[in-house]
Chains A and B, each alone.
Chain A
């Protein structure tokens, strides 16, 4: 903390321009200001500064702040696995990474993760939250369309479809909800009138609550969706979505940026809007997506909440957003490029440890924000540790969705298929597409479940993954503890932790294997396991 005071002191002496010259090299050098907290932090950066860091440095400097220390390799591997692929690293993956001594090992790990199958699965889940993929009330896509839509989203993410093309297809497709899955965008709204559709479009792709715009603008945006029509077929729950042209009328509408459009009877107004939406004229399209990706990785948007950014662009956030937007457009709307940029920054790789400081005295950029693991990811992690699959059954008929028993929770396509665990741990209901639907705050019920439910008890006791540690305990307690730590916390115990565990073996009054199970229970209930940090 001393270092921090020193900097604030300096700022007083060297105000204005002088301070900028003086402090900037101070940031650039690998000089550490905060005391290093083990086992979560390293002394020295091996990650080079990138484009983002330069922007962030300026913001921090303005506020008299310093970036935290680099997070340690064991923190990094866990963090980046959970953030990028929603999956805990396996012990052998941890070993490989820790053994690697090349300075670019973090960058290589990031590249590797971005190409993993789980990347597509995890981000499909996120997009299904935003696009409201569920079969029942109040969205009512119904099971067949849910599967078609899910597959379509998944394919787009897997092949890293340029984002502008992805969005344009969602907004301009016509056809059967079974055969042209993108049309389900227009079905996954709570009400199928043009204003509700306009609301969904603004929320999803502009990060704007339409109701905050002037009424006149709301009406004008709605005009672009006024011809969207739905028609049933003889197939159960099949629906054709299309733009029903009024052959006599020309629609005159004003875009949110004030540009005027005259839409001739032979034109699909949705296309006119989509072309404007994805153009650089639209100040919200690329801002929305880069801000969202930032929030998904950093725990908080540059503008917050990410789906309410209307008129919140300020001098403080303009530059960093602008940098990311430029990169997005330059890369031809390659979202993975934005992921890579953020993940390779020191800003992302800094520590989450705030010591006794309250985060509110810091700006959002001066630490990595701790937050609870997503419900689905947590359950998958618990399932992996316990060596047993959760198994999902659909209660929703016509047709019943069959879910292979070995499917992970993050691959659940249908928001209407759920479990008590997922409800307790805050999985979004996919009713509105708002990011705030996901509840990441701890609750009493969550604590009860993890501390004392028969489910968790059973998962720990009968885990074939942890069994090795339980058996080893009779021969070598230290090895056993090491293994439990690696499986659950992705790292080895510190000397202090080792001795706490050793002491527990002696004093618990339990047989050694049951002591080991209790240690596993304690680690699963620790903040380090339950939080991304």
Chain B
């Protein structure tokens, strides 16, 4: 082969290009390292399933009158000057410096399943594909094969699934969350499949030996690849049933003071489990907190639920923060929508609130979100957004960015789809990600 001489002009050009590339690279490198320093590692999604009232929680309107406030007509100052929340959230008021409130969430949808889909996938329900939830996306970019090696599955749902929502979307069954079942407020948190109340470890070992001996078909075709995969899965299962990792679900390891601080009820203890999962590096945890669809018995329900919610959520913020975990853990808390600001006093509701997707609140904390801020503004009754509408995709994209996942990059998938992680829709007219509360 003949050696080719490079012309001097080209050489100069190449030098300029490479130098500028180096500078650019440096800039990018320093940029990402800054990001990595405070990059979020885990997400706790507190899903207020059914849709909680914005008026009765984070967007109180005490001046709107009894038809809008009912008995929950007071607001209280928080530890952040200028921010008030509903009087029903006394303990959270003392933690307001740790979280920010978005008071202008909106999507206009009034049906549970479509609103839940939009809020958790960032895609309007429509034609074509079923998109994966934020949890499934995080699982794709931060789960097995992407740095996570824990035995506990990377995407956990505490404690029951949402039923009508398929979290994995087109990503397929590998990205479905592990749903724990059980109740952490019981003596034993019987995580379905992992922790059995009735079978001792010693008996588990004996059972496993018997199973191995009795597996006549399996033994007669040792080369079968299907069976080999089956055996692998069984080994993984036993690593959980008999191994150390399951201890993460054992709340008896926590001091009583801590357990009491979270509240001795399902929600409180579930928050505590979520903290323990974050500690061992589980990237995504959803707390499915049902019971917020309060068409009837609204205020009776709120009185009971808000006390639990206030205690558990505030404990989680305080605890994560004191352990230095809040900087790397995003908490986002909201339902699929809010509730009608005007109370429905007439029968059959007798003092209830209906579905409301035009304006509602969402709370974010940690993982690079600033605390002590309010984003957006609702009108005098919390019926409509008056300032900075925040759409589900704005919120979800913000979280992805804090996790170091570029929402505009290609989404790997086995369907051969040419698709981005979470692009803005074509007709998007919002204000973009929540830069105002994201630490640089």
Contacts and interface: CB of A to CB of B under 8 A. Distances in A.
Q: Do A and B come from the same complex? A: yes
Contacts of B198: 454, 457
Given A355-B223, A522-B214, A531-B217, 13 more contacts: A137-B113, A190-B128, A353-B221, A420-B161, A442-B229, A444-B153, A445-B176, A451-B234, A454-B197, A518-B207, A518-B210, A522-B210, A527-B215
Contacts of B127: 138, 190-191, 196
B163 interface: yes
B217 A138 contact: no
A446 B233 contact: yes
Interface string B127-144: 111100000000000000
B193 A449 contact: yes
Which 10 A-B pairs give the minimum distances between C-beta atoms? A448-B193, A447-B237, A191-B127, A528-B217, A442-B230, A444-B236, A527-B218, A356-B223, A522-B211, A448-B237
B178 A527 contact: no
A452 B214 contact: no
B225 A359 contact: yes
Contacts of A356: 221-223
B117 A519 contact: no
A50 interface: no
Interface in B168-210: 172-173, 176, 178-179, 181, 190, 192-194, 196-199, 203-204, 206-207, 210
B151 to A, nearest CB: 10
A389 interface: no
Contacts of A455: 192
B233 A40 contact: no
B148 to A, nearest CB: 14
A202 B203 CA distance: 54
Contacts of B125: 137-138
A315 interface: no
Contact of A527 (B179, B192, B203, B217): B217
A330 interface: no
A533 interface: yes
B192 A447 contact: no
Given A137-B130, A522-B210, A453 B193 contact: yes
A526 B214 contact: yes
Contact of A395 (B163, B181, B197): B163
Interface in B225-269: 225-227, 229-230, 233-234, 236-238, 240-241
A416 B130 CA distance: 14
A392 B313 CA distance: 33
B146 interface: no
Which of A457, A519, A521, A527 has its CB near the most chain B CB atoms (within 10 A)? A527
B166 interface: yes
A449 B216 contact: no
B214 A371 contact: no
Given A442-B230, A451-B241, A418 B210 contact: no
B427 interface: no
19 contacts: A136-B113, A190-B128, A354-B223, A355-B223, A395-B164, A418-B163, A423-B176, A441-B226, A444-B240, A447-B233, A452-B237, A454-B181, A501-B214, A510-B203, A518-B206, A522-B214, A525-B211, A527-B215, A531-B217
Interface string B84-118: 00000000000000000000000000000110010
Contact of B211 (A196, A418, A526): A526
Interface residues of A, number: 67
A125 B223 CA distance: 33
Contacts of A454: 181, 190, 192, 196-198
A363 to B, nearest CB: 16
Contacts of B237: 444, 447-448, 451-452
Contact of A396 (B161, B164, B204): B164
Interface residues of B, number: 56
B220 interface: yes
B17 interface: no
A494 interface: yes
Contacts of A452: 193-194, 196, 199, 204, 237, 241
A420 B211 CA distance: 25
A504 B194 CA distance: 24
Interface in A418-457: 418, 420, 423-424, 426, 429, 431, 439, 441-449, 451-455, 457
Given A429-B166, A519-B210, A525-B211, A191 B128 contact: yes
B46 to A, nearest CB: 21
Contacts of A521: 207
Interface in A84-126: none
A266 interface: no
Contacts of B29: none
Contact of A355 (B216, B221, B225): B221
B223 A448 contact: no
Interface string A383-419: 0000000000001100000000000000000001010
B213 interface: yes
Nearest to B163: A395
A240 interface: no
A93 to B, nearest CB: 21
Contacts of A271: none
A342 B407 CA distance: 51
A141 to B, nearest CB: 14
A354 B228 CA distance: 13
A310 B68 CA distance: 62
Given A137-B117, A190-B127, A518-B210, A448 B220 contact: no
B241 A448 contact: yes
A254 interface: no
Contacts of A522: 207, 210-211, 214
